[in-house]
């Protein structure tokens, strides 16, 4: 009898079937008779359509009357190709019945599960993290303590699994006597194996120790007795060595245990691999073939790495690579070619006795390989269509080119080719549009050297737009676009985003001794002269001191600019620092950086009369100098709260950046709305935009992770009634069209 929730007897009524669907939340079934002969397949959709077309009593009608006799099946021993699996899922087909020649149901083949093997909490297969195995083998030199040390180092390196080898020497080689002789190479191997074997008991102690380190721990059994010992131990899977790929006596025993198999294919020809896969497919065994060249070290020219792609077509739920070459760059290439399992030998000292040591990775190399595989697999993900990343959008503006005015152009003039030039930076209309602009009429005066945009060819809407918000709202502005944007948007607050250059501008040249009816918020520059990024957390005291001076310069501008606006105190938004280039830092190093920020802020406290510093919450992967960095501080609400409690200052608060915190929540697995709840008492200002993935900040609303209604409800529940701005990417373009669209999305919600 097949054990599956998808099987239903033909004696069951339609009414009972509907109750099963409601209770089990399973929506498609195989209908069989009492001998397990298949009648058909039925889905909840089939039942709904049948109910519309009939007046039969559902309590008296057999489900077999509704079952679809024209269904797709899977022949015993056949495996779905990747394309077949994708096509079935696209059609909504979740399973296929596997039938005998007599049409008896042998098993239910779950299409979705066809693409991976589950081992413990790890999933092996496409669209899952590469399963990385540190092959300790016999490199422990016969020492259990060395084996444990290697397990510790492998765990520190971040591998998923460690593997050992288990042999019954008499069964593998027979009893050695003076009459039994071997070739010199075999004699050498035998001597090493006998010298450096761990006992079965010691192997199991090592496996238990590895499991305590949250590693998958398993062995290659070289004989049936060793396989039986591992079965009694309840190993989660078996590895078949290249030397045993044609040993069906051993493989048949392993198949009988119902555990997944990883099978190295070194020393075998394609016909032998196909013979094995046909056998495994017929037995419906979960397995993964590992491409392998069984020489030590394997010459690069003989590895034939692209064979991985062909190997993947032979069957198995995934394909991998077991490498015996020097280094780990070939393993990285294997991942790029589709390998989802990587096995590399691991040693503490390559000069130790034994051939495996020569081709093994040292602990630091193993760690580097794991890091680079993780980076590589992330780089292989993404949409099938070419789109711009956040970093590319930044660089497109900085390094790209746009169409600029070559002279001053008056309203009503029609453009000629000589009126336009192509220059950097980007941000305006793209160069390929230049021919389309010839003859177009300019709708507003344009100074020489201005990047042309669509707004220069549209009538400027003079009427100010009004919004109905419960909270004080504004938009981000620069000195050069403040007056233009204020003609379009009637907002009670503006947030000036300063560059280092802006700090040297006399505010009166912008505001002309006028008093404006808004409040002002200031965003401190992050990049200062000499490519110096603001970093109050730097390990370098000189960098911290310079950053403190840069904040003081900005505070002085705040005190000047507020005289033109309504507020007595100014919120100063700062990115406090704490980023690194090479990767994230550990908790001990983070604590040092938090302490450095605290000491830096203490030095700023005497300057904070009428200033509230609002530390901005940060994303995990900020963009600096056109590239991605790693942010370590103010990405976790609990850490940020503890920092602010420790500071205990009314002049140090939080600017809660919704997009940044969405990204950090998505990356670390936090509940975004819990982050708001934790920081609610300290939130002084909000930056609001959507976010995509782990590093797509500033996305337009509706394109990412944000639920606007839930955000509004959470802010209301937590009494977060502070000011906010929408901070969508390039919102200022075309006279603020992006900001206006964002405010319309938020209107009457916040």
Confidence at residue 3, expressed as pLDDT on a 0 to 100 scale: 62
Q: What per-residue string of b and e applies to 252-284 under the rule 16 or more CB within 10 Å gives b? A: ebbbeeebbbbbbbbbbeeeebeebbeebbeee
pTM of the entire predicted model: 0.68
pLDDT at 702: 81
**What residue ranges of the chain have pLDDT lower than 70?**
1-3, 77, 82, 113-114, 169-196, 383, 390, 460-464, 625-626
Alpha-carbon distance of 43 to 53, in angstroms, equals 16
Cα separation values, 155 from 137, 140, 162, Å: 16, 16, 9
Task: Give the angle 261-264-269 at the CA atoms, nearest 5°.
Answer: 125
Interior/surface letters 35-65, b for 16+ CB within 10 angstroms, e for the rest: ebebbbbbbeebbeebeeeeeeebeebbbbb
pLDDT in tens, 677-715: 999 999 999 999 998 888 778 777 888 888 999 999 999
Please give the pLDDT value at position 23: 87
Strands 683-688 and 723-726: parallel
pLDDT (0 to 100) of residue 95:
83
Q: Name residues whose C-beta falls within 8 Å of residue 306's C-beta, 6 or more positions apart in sequence.
A: 337
The pLDDT of residue 631 is: 94
Kindly list the structural domains of the chain, giving each domain's residue range(s) and its CATH number in brackets, ordered by start. Answer: 7-112 (3.10.580.10), 137-236 (3.20.20.70), 244-344 (3.20.20.70), 390-457 (3.90.1210.10), 474-746 (3.20.20.150)
Residue of 506, 497, 499 lying closest to 528 (CA atoms): 499
* pLDDT score for 257: 93
- Cα 591 to Cα 594: distance, rounded to the nearest angstrom: 5
> What would the pLDDT profile of 348-397 be if each residue is shown by its tens digit?
999 888 778 889 999 999 999 999 999 999 889 876 777 777 677 777 87
Dist. CA 393–CA 729, nearest whole Å: 9
């Amino acid at each position: 009898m097949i054990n599956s929730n998808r099987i239903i007897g033909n004696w069951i009524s339609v009414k009972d079937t509907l109750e099963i669907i409601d209770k089990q939340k399973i929506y498609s079934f195989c209908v069989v008779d009492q001998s397990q002969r298949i009648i058909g397949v039925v889905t909840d959709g089939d039942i709904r359509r049948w109910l519309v077309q009939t007046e039969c009593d559902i309590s008296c009608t057999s489900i077999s009357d509704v079952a679809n006799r024209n269904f797709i099946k899977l022949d015993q021993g056949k495996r779905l190709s990747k394309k077949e699996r994708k096509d079935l899922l696209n059609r909504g087909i979740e399973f296929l019945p596997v039938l005998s020649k007599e049409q008896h149901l042998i098993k239910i083949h779950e299409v979705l599960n066809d693409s991976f093997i589950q081992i413990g909490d790890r999933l092996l297969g496409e669209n899952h993290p590469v399963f990385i195995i540190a092959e300790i083998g016999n490199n422990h030199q016969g020492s259990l303590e060395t084996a444990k040390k290697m397990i510790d180092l492998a765990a520190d390196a971040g591998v998923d699994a460690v593997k050992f080898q288990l042999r019954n020497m008499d069964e593998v080689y027979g009893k050695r006597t003076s009459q039994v002789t071997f070739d010199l190479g075999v004699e050498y191997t035998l001597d090493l194996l006998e010298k450096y074997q761990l006992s079965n008991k010691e192997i199991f102690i090592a496996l238990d120790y590895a499991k305590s380190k949250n590693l998958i721990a398993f062995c290659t059994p070289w004989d049936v007795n060793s396989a039986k010992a591992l079965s009694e131990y309840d190993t989660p899977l078996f590895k078949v060595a290249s030397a045993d790929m044609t040993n069906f006596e051993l493989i048949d025993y392993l198949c009988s245990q119902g555990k997944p198999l990883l099978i190295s294919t070194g020393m075998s020809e394609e016909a032998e691999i196909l013979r094995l896969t046909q056998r495994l497919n017929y037995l419906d065994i979960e397995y993964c073939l590992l491409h392998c060249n069984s020489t030590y070290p394997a010459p690069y020219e003989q590895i034939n790495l692209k064979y991985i792609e062909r190997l993947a077509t032979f069957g198995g739920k995934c394909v991998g690579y077991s490498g015996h070459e020097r280094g780990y760059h070939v393993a990285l290439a294997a991942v790029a070619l589709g390998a989802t399992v990587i096995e590399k030998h691991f040693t503490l000292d390559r000069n130790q006795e034994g051939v495996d040591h020569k081709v093994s990775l040292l602990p630091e190399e193993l760690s580097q390989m794991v890091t680079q595989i993780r980076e590589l697999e992330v780089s292989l993900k993404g949409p099938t269509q070419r789109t711009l990343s956040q970093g590319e959008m930044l660089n497109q503006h900085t390094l790209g080119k746009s169409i600029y005015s070559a002279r001053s152009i008056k309203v009503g003039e029609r453009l000629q080719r000589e009126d336009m030039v192509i220059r950097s930076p980007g941000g305006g209309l793209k160069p390929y549009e230049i021919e389309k602009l010839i003859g177009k009429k300019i709708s507003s005066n344009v100074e020489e050297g201005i990047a042309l945009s669509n707004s220069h060819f549209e009538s400027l809407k003079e009427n100010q737009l009004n919004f109905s918000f419960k909270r004080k709202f504004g938009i981000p502005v620069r000195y050069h676009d403040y007056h233009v944007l204020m003609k379009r948007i009637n907002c009670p607050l503006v947030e000036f985003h300063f560059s280092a250059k802006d700090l040297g501008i006399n505010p009166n040249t912008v505001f002309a001794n006028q008093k404006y009816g808004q409040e002002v918020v200031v965003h401190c520059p992050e990049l200062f002269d000499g490519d110096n990024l603001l970093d109050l957390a730097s390990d370098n005291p000189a960098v911290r001191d310079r950053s403190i001076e840069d904040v003081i310069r900005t505070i002085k501008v705040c005190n000047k600019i507020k005289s033109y606006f309504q507020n007595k105190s100014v919120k100063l938004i700062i990115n406090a620092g704490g980023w690194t280039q090479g990767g994230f830092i550990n908790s001990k190093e983070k604590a040092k950086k938090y302490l450095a920020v605290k000491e830096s802020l203490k030095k700023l406290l005497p300057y904070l009369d009428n200033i509230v510093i609002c530390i901005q919450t940060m994303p995990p992967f900020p963009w600096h100098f056109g590239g991605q960095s790693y942010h370590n501080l103010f990405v976790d609400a609990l850490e940020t709260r503890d920092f602010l409690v420790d500071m205990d200052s009314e002049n140090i608060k939080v600017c809660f950046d919704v997009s940044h915190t969405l990204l950090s929540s998505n990356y670390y697995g936090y509940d975004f709305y819990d982050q708001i709840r934790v920081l609610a008492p300290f939130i002084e200002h909000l930056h609001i935009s959507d976010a995509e993935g782990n590093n797509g900040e500033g996305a337009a609303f509706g394109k990412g992770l944000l639920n606007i209604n839930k955000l509004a409800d959470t802010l209301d529940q937590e009494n977060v009634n502070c000011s906010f701005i929408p901070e969508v990417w390039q919102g200022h373009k075309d006279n603020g069209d992006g900001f206006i669209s964002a405010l319309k999305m938020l209107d009457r919600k916040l």
